[in-house]
Structure 1
Amino acid sequence: MSAAWRPLPEALPPEVRHFVEQLRLLKDRTGLSLIALGKETAYSKSSWQRYLNAQQPPPRQAVAALCKVAGEDGERFCARWEVAVRAWPRGGAGGTEPAPGVVLSKAAKTSRAGKAGKTSRAGKTGKSAPPAWSRGPRRPSRARSAWTWRSTAAVTTLLVLAALFEGLLRFLMR
């Protein structure tokens, strides 16, 4: 492992420690700096620092992107990712809930549901609400979508009018 890596926290679960060590080795094999890795994978240098220092679990897509850059089997690493994410401590408390923003595959959710049984999220109706980390990305509001559409239409209209005006001027200048 690179001498530049910070030591991993002692309280880290072994699955997480092994996964992060493997990611570090994979990153070192690429020979890329964190900045160059960020450019190759579309994940920032600071994100890779958090992932490779076990401060935050990486998204599955980041692991797949690193594997692609390193020429490694992405399926194998994504399977390791699922094991590590299930064991990743939440908020440093050592819990088994995945960190916010991490979306598990259907198989991992099924496995977690079988182990958990009834959850403490159950309300008066007895139904449990889905945890925040499994809800996926939020969609933009309708107002923002409409604003984006209108601004795109306005810019397109201006460009078309400018092109027509330029064509008219060229025609008149002949």
Structure 2
Amino acid sequence: MPRWKELPDSLDPRVRQLIVQLRRLKDRSGLSLASLQDKTGYSRSSWDRYLNGRKLPPRAAVQELARVCGAEPTPLLVLHEVAESAWQQNVPPGREGPRGQESEEQQKPEEQQEPEVRGTAPESAPPPPAGSVPAPRPAPTRHGWPRRPIVLVGALLIALVALGAGLVVLNPWWDDSTPTATSRTHGAVAGSWAPGKAYSCKVRRVHGRLTAGYSQSDNGEYQESAHGWPVVEAQCLLTARGFSPGGVDGVFGPATESAVKRFQSKHRQDPGPDQPPLAVDGIIGPHTWGVLRK
């Protein structure tokens, strides 16, 4: 299978994260762009734009890709929510906006579209008889509500664990420990992490260990595609140690992985005389946590 083109450096890390996962899903399925065109209704050229970062794929395209590849769509849709927010904030020059919700193939030709049904103009309606009471206006129906319902972010975040089965293996993604007094200094409580937000860092030493107060994780393994408070904690610690992950948002993307590798390379021999050197693999495991908190 041909190698992918490098994604543009100007691409927001949150958008990059979505595209990387979509590429992995396509590669695992073995489907070509032509096959995706046949199976999803989105053209080959559309998929080429989506998977090379020139246009943000619409939500429906993400769902279709998950369907034809036999993957759980919910984790990808969470990444899409984050990516869409980032894309709307700053659409890169030369790239299309995110709102093309239907492909050329899915749009009906104009002559085949059903005629629009219009209500009678108010001025053409006959006036009510004198003394009559106007009928009450019907209550708004569900058709008048926004097309996308408000979704509890927490439920979607829990569903992200499904990526471990479909795309990558993470153990675990979430820090299940009870929040301590230190974590409350940031006003953060377990379960309130949300995508698309930036978090401040106040790293301090408590009982001989560095902490940012977001997570007390020491044993979990976190790598690219992980999300949550432990990732916020790690990003703060990396920043404090001089290895910027490009932002503190709780999303373990390529920039965070690069910062972890630089940290591991610089502090390879720091675990101690009786411990093996740090592996430069971009994964935050127990040994890397230990050195980060020194």
Q: Could you tell me whether the CA contact under 8 Å between 2:58 and 2:98 is conserved in 1?
A: no
Number of residue pairs aligned between Structure 1 and Structure 2: 105
The structure whose residues are more often helix, as a share, is: 1
- Structure 2 residue matching 1:54: 3-state secondary structure: coil
User: Structure 2: where are the runs of 5+ without partners?
Assistant: 102-145, 152-193, 195-294
Distance 1:65 1:41 in 2: 6
Look up the match of 1:73: 72
Distance 1:35 1:106 in 2: 33
What code does the residue aligned with 2:17 have?
H
Q: Could you tell me whether the CA contact under 8 Å between 2:10 and 2:92 is conserved in 1?
A: no
Displacement of 1:93 in angstroms is 8.1
Q: 1:104 to 1:48 in 2, by over 3 A?
A: farther
Displacement of 1:59 in angstroms is 1.1
Q: 1:107 to 1:92 in 2, by over 3 A?
A: farther
Distance 1:104 1:51 in 2: 23
- TM-score, length-scaled by structure 2: 0.33
Displacement of 1:57 in angstroms is 0.7
Q: 1:93 to 1:35 in 2, by over 3 A?
A: closer
RMSD: 2.7
Distance 1:82 1:104 in 2: 15
Distance 1:42 1:101 in 2: 14
Q: Could you tell me whether the CA contact under 8 Å between 1:34 and 1:49 is conserved in 2?
A: yes
Distance 2:11 2:30 in 1: 26
Look up the match of 1:55: 54
What code does the residue aligned with 1:63 have?
V
Distance 1:90 1:104 in 2: 23
- TM-score, length-scaled by structure 1: 0.53
What code does the residue aligned with 1:92 have?
P
Q: 1:62 to 1:93 in 2, by over 3 A?
A: closer
Q: Deviations over 1:29-59 (max 9, x none)?
A: 1101100111011111000000000100111
Look up the match of 1:92: 93
Q: Deviations over 1:106-137 (max 9, x none)?
A: 549xx9xxxxxxxxxxxxxxxxxxxxxxxxxx
Listed as ranges, the matches of 1:91-130 within 5 Å are 91-92=92-93, 99-101=98-100, 105-107=148-150
Q: 1:91 to 1:105 in 2, by over 3 A?
A: farther
Distance 1:56 1:104 in 2: 22
Distance 2:2 2:43 in 1: 21
User: Structure 1: where are the runs of 5+ without partners?
Assistant: 112-174
Q: Could you tell me whether the CA contact under 8 Å between 1:82 and 1:104 is conserved in 2?
A: no
1:15 aligns with 2:9: no
Listed as ranges, the matches of 1:25-44 within 5 Å are 25-44=24-43
